[in-house]
Each structure stands twice: as structure tokens, then as C-alpha cells.
Amino acid sequence: DIKMPYKQLHVRNLKLSDAGIYTCEYSSHKVRTSLHVFQLTISLDGHFLQNEVPELILMQNSPSHLPDLSITLFDSNSNRVTPELRNKSPQKYIMNLKKLEATDSGTWVCQVHSDSPLINQNISFAVKVLGFQNPDLERKYAAVDSTVILSWRLNFQKIKWKEGFTGQLNWKQQEGANTHELFDFNVTAQGHLHETKKSSNFLFEIPGRKPESTIEVKLPRVHFNHSGQYQCQLEYQGRHTQSKIELVVMKVSANPAGPLSRGANMTLTCQVSGLLPPNAYLRWERVNGTKMDIKNSKQHEVKLEVNIGAAGLWSCHLIEDNDRKISLHYHVEEAAVWINYVIIGASVGGGLLAFALGCLCITTGINWRRRRQRAKRMAQARQHLLENKTCQCQQ
């Protein structure tokens, strides 16, 4: 299009083949302009999943020699990004960007520079990264019988993602164990989320009320064997990305259970369901106790035992980076005084009863032996009478 009255030439839908020398003739005047054309292409039409690496192709065409270009990239947060140059020719530059995060969505800038001829050109391009606002791996601690809600915050509404995608929530107790699908979900192009429960052997709920663009699972009464990895996975056009939450469950117990008698001992045990990171450990301590009432676990220990001989409130803490992540309490009751007296009395009474039974047995044995001897003498007397070995006086 030629715009009057300034004699401007507008070239629409510019292509590489449009590069060249353009001459404007007016009367006896001629003005020549050299047009250098750049074409920037990003893979997958700029739609990526978290942790994917985009490919960027910059092509150039010019009526003169093609200059050696210096390329600098700036992400959506105006941070400088150094691309990996995979292939280079005078006309084409093929680069790999960094591994994308969910926060990288937005407008990026490719800055092209040349000294001869002098070129300073900024080319903007859009990047959309579908993913999680959670870290790739998160650890969460819970006490046995407590209520736990695990959440994954998706960014599809924040970045105005206009394509439908699917996903699922899986659980496995440990690496190498079988994976159980808890539920799957799909998000329409209009941004509507639909969830479908799959597992019936696992006690969990899908909360009805939750923050927007959030995937949640609720464990109303967590068991020790509910620990493990909960993985939320997104799928778009056959590609996948995921975010994991590792649930670590803690419990405390006593052996023997029940009140602590005077002079007796008890073992308190604090245990977690999985390995702890190197900067985490367990600690037993007696509330309002002394330093002697504190015991810490060693690195990588998942069970901590403490032998006690005093009643009181004992607490087990899981400490990570000097921060108490979770605490469980165990109240050790002292047996009442009358119970101790009953125990002592029962012991003494039992001893006396045993002694009395022993005496009774001895007396009974003696009497039984005497009766047996008497019966034996009478039998002998009868025998003598029958044999007429004795005389009887006549009355």
C-alpha cells in the first residue's frame, strides 16, 4: 500500500523473500532503501508445559551480505537468558532456551545486534507455560489421625490458557511400589474443571469448595500407611508434566502403655513413615524438664526411643532447618498411690496365701499319712482275728 501524501510504502505480512532494495522515484529523484528481514519462529506455537525446553529459530535475509549476529534473550521478567546455540549458518540460527517454569509465561524479547551493517532490532514473542505454582517436589508432614489436605495450584487461568487439557492424581507408598490412580480430571478450553473419582479402596475426599484453579485431595483421618508420594500430572497433546508432594506421617507410642508405677520404666517411641532430609531430625523432650530430658535422633534415623522413669508430658518434635514442622505429645500418668498400695498388698497377700496353702498341704499330708497307718493297723487286726491268732474273752 502506498500512503499519500508522504509516499510511504507499507508491506503487509512481511516474508523473508521481501528482503531487497526498494527504490522510490519521484520526478528526477531516486531514493533507495535496503530492507533486511528477520523471521523468528518458536516451537510448538509458543505453548509449553512446565520443564520443557523451547526451540527458537532466527532466520535473516538481505540484499547484501548476511552479517554475523549477536543474539540476546530476555524472559517475561526482563531477566537475561543465555540460549544454547545448537546450529548456526549465515541465514539460520537454531537455539535452545532454558527449561521453562510456570512463572516464565509472558512476552519475551529477542535482541539482535550487528556492527556492520549496524543493526539493533528487538523482536518480541509470546510464551505460555502450563504448569504448577507448586515446586516440582514438596514435602508435607502430618500426625496420625489428623486431617490432611494436599493442594496443587494450576496456572491455566492466570496465563489465559485457551486449550483443553487433562490430568490425574496418583499415589504410591514408595519408589518402586505400585501406583494407584485416585482420580482424574479435565479442563475445557473455557477453563471449566471436572473431576472423576477412580479409587474406592483408599479413604480420601475431593473437596467441593476450594480455591480456583486448584487440584485438592483430602485425607480425613490420615493413617501411618497413607504416607508416600502424591503426584499430580498434566497432559497436553501427548506431553506430560507433574508435581509431587511427599507426605511424611509421624506417630508416638509407649511400651508398656498405661500409668507408670513408682520405680518402673517406660519406653516412648517416636516414628516417621519415611526418610528425612539431612537437615531434619526427631527430638524427644519432657515439657518443663531439664536438658537431661532431651534426646535427638541421629541423621537419617526414622525412629527415636527414650527410656523414662518419671511421669509428665513428653513431646516429640520433627525439626527441619531449626523449624518445628510438627509436634506430637504423650502424657505419661503416674499410677495413683492407692494403686501402688493395692499392688503391694496384693503381692504380700499373695505371698501369705501361698504360705497358708503350703501349710495346709503339709498338715493335710500328715493327717492323711496317719489315717493310712491307722487303717493299716485295723486291717492287720482283722486278719489276726480271722486266723484265730488272738483270743477273745467270753462274756
Q: Where are the domains of the chain?
A: 2-130, 137-248, 256-332
Domain 2-130 of CATH type 2.60.40.10: yes
DSSP-derived secondary structure letter, 45: G
Q: Closest Cα partner for 326 from 360, 286, 280, 357?
A: 280
pLDDT mean by block of 10 residues, the chain; 395 residues: 65 90 84 92 96 96 93 94 93 95 95 93 96 91 95 94 94 88 94 87 85 92 93 96 96 90 90 92 90 89 92 93 93 68 53 65 68 69 59 45
Judge whether 137-248 and 256-332 match in fold. Answer: yes
Are 217 and 150 spatial neighbours (Cβ–Cβ below 8 Å)? yes
- At 365 the pLDDT is 64
Q: How far apart, in whole angstroms, are the C-alpha atoms of residue 199 and residue 182?
A: 5
The pairs formed by 329-334 with CB atoms below 8 angstroms and a separation of 24 or more are: 329/252, 329/287, 330/252, 330/253, 330/254, 330/268, 332/254, 332/260, 332/266, 332/268, 332/308, 333/258, 333/259, 333/260, 334/259, 334/260, 334/262
All three cell numbers of 237, joined, read 497433546
Which pLDDT value is given to residue 380? 67
User: Residue 273 — φ and ψ, nearest 5°?
Assistant: -85, -15
- Whole-number pLDDT of residue 217: 95
Distance CA 318, CA 328 (A): 9
pLDDT of residue 341: 47
Question: What is the pLDDT at residue 31?
Answer: 85
What letter does residue 237 receive in the DSSP assignment? T
The model's pTM: 0.76
Separation CA 226–CA 143 (nearest Å):
11
In the 8-state DSSP scheme, what is residue 273? S
Spatial contact of 252 and 330, defined as CB atoms under 8 Å apart: yes
Q: Which CATH number is correct for 256-332, 3.90.420.10, 3.40.50.300, 2.60.40.10, 3.40.50.620? A: 2.60.40.10
Q: What is the pLDDT of residue 356?
A: 61
CATH number for region 137-248 = 2.60.40.10
